Amino acid sequence: MGKLRILIPKGRIYDNVSRLFSDAGIQMSLADRTYRPRLAVPWLDAKIMKPQNVGELLELGSHDAGFTGLDWIQESGADIEELMDLGFDKVRIVAAVPAGKSVDELKTRTLVVATEYVNIAGAWLDRAGYRYRIVRTYGATEVFPPDDADMIIDNTSSGQTLKDNGLRILDTILESSTRFVASRAALADSEKRGQIEELVMLFKAVLEGRDKVMLEMNVSKERFDALIAALPAMRSPTVAPLYGEAGFAVKIAVPKNEVPVLISKLKKFGAADIVEYELRKVVP
């Protein structure tokens, strides 16, 4: 079997991707000052690259699959296939200006706009009807106004850094998160497509497991039917008789955010000895 060549971004995305592989049962390690992570399966070969480059390198065919933000997919315009929204590293791409500037004032002249997102910025500025000149930045975009730019287009998670630098958000242009993507050439190859689909299955199982917990409980025969009728479950609960025919043991997988309310409800329906524990994977 040939190796599937994976691109993993450096920076903030790396830790989440590393944990995703680990939770999927594929340990990943990276020695200091290297760009070649070791993955504990023989058919994966990984390389660290900036997220900005992932889409274009996949389109060029030098690698088969990878991880990057939706923002960089749209910025590069790369012709690749998005396989999964992994849901982490969520950011917004926003237009922001010094707090005292009004939209009417900004539209009276040609603006200097600082951004790493030259293509996304240009498309939004055209739609919004601004006259502008873009200055490409390479990090720390928020420090440009008011001396070196009238507006910035940048990513933010909470908006606090923008506020700390005296900026206010005019508009949210794009909401982005980390995506698992692949080259069209790799998907056209039956062997590589099978490898990619195996990773998709594992990643989906991990993400599904993170959102759910397992609840185990005991219930008497007399209250069993009422409890079962009240249970939420992925399909049907798992039920086993207790020793001595004293009742039943019941297992259900439920969303984590429902647990605080659900446990109180289950006790009212006769559940006892309730145990909650984490799930590693859930494979539908």
**What is the secondary structure of 42-79 as a DSSP string?**
TTEEEEEE-HHHHHHHHHHTS-SEEEEEHHHHHHHT--
Per-residue pLDDT tens digits for 219-265: 999 999 999 888 875 557 889 999 888 899 999 888 888 898 899 99
Number of domains in the chain: 3
Same domain, yes or no: 172 and 96: yes
Within 10 A of 106 (CB to CB), how many other CB atoms are there?
19
Q: What is the mean pLDDT of the chain?
A: 92
Residue 62 has phi, psi (to 5 degrees) of: -75, -15
What percent of the chain is modeled with pLDDT above 90?
A: 74
The residue segments making up the domain with residue 270 are 212-278
Cis peptide before 146 (omega within 30 of 0): yes
| Domain end (from 152, 176, 200) | 176
- In what helix (H) or strand (E) does residue 264 lie, and over which residues does it extend? helix 259-268
pTM: 0.84
Same domain, yes or no: 82 and 104: no
Q: Are strands 248-255 and 238-241 parallel, antiparallel or unpaired?
A: antiparallel
What percent of the chain is modeled with pLDDT above 70?
A: 98
Residue 230 has phi, psi (to 5 degrees) of: -90, -5
Same domain, yes or no: 101 and 63: no
| Cα–Cα distance, 224 to 221 (Å, whole number) | 5
Same domain, yes or no: 49 and 80: yes
Give the domain CATH number at 103.
Answer: 3.40.190.10
Q: Is 237 exposed, middle or buried (0-12, 13-18, 19+ CB in 10 A)?
A: middle
| Cα–Cα distance, 123 to 109 (Å, whole number) | 18
Residue 204 has phi, psi (to 5 degrees) of: -60, -40
Residue of 247, 251, 244, 252 whose CA lies nearest to 224 = 247
Same domain, yes or no: 69 and 80: yes
What is the pLDDT averaged over residues 90-105? 90
Same domain, yes or no: 52 and 184: yes
Same domain, yes or no: 148 and 47: no
221 found inside a domain:
yes
284 found inside a domain:
no
pLDDT at 32: 80
Per-residue pLDDT tens digits for 140-161: 999 999 999 999 999 999 989 9
Residues 6+ apart with CB under 8 A from 69: 13, 51, 89, 91, 176, 177, 178, 179
283 found inside a domain:
no
Per-residue pLDDT tens digits for 63-85: 999 999 999 999 999 999 999 99
Q: pLDDT band at 11, cuts 50/70/90?
A: confident
